[in-house]
Structure 1
Amino acid sequence: CCYYSNSSNDLTNPIDILDIQNKYAEVTWKYLLFKYGYHNAVKRFLNITLWLASMNIIAVHAQSLPVHVNNIDSLVEQTELTLILDDMDQTIETK
């Protein structure tokens, strides 16, 4: 969904993405300045940027989470297999 027919759907160019981000930041800043005044606008804009940075960090960690889950699953399977083999060895030795 876009408002301009000449806008590109392929947003892989970093310059285009930066330009869009700058426009959103400027609109947000102007709104906060109008609504809350300079001092409170600075505080609220800072809170927004800190929140966005935190969300970015969480997203990065969330992307690596399946790798850790797979590693833990593999470790559990290896431990179970080792315990089963140890039990079998003990059973064979006692016979």
Structure 2
Amino acid sequence: MRATIDGVLLADAEPEHIISIEGNCYFPLDSLTIGTLTDSPTPYVCPWKGQARYYSVTTPHNQHVDAAWCYPHPKQTAIETVGHNFTGYVAFDTTRVLVE
């Protein structure tokens, strides 16, 4: 699977390495394109997954604020519910990022 925006590759991973949570595809860290994500100060806490970290996506022509996120320290109950440890995996806002 690939995640792209503005023709820029953000992540590329085999489907078996993707974790699906609530309709979002979470990519492992080693599948991300270095330099495309920058930390965002936007705070968010999911009631069942825990504290999220947002990222802005930078391309040569645009910056897409808060277009990606991860859970650096998800709740243990969330990991158990999902059935996989998704710590640090990154998901993308599919209203702006093409995931296919």
Same-fold call, TM cutoff 0.5: no
RCO comparison, higher one (Cα < 8 Å, 6+): 2
Specify the structure having the higher radius of gyration (Cα).
1
TM-score, scaled to structure 2: 0.19
Larger helix fraction of residues: 1
Larger strand fraction of residues: 2
TM-score, scaled to structure 1: 0.20
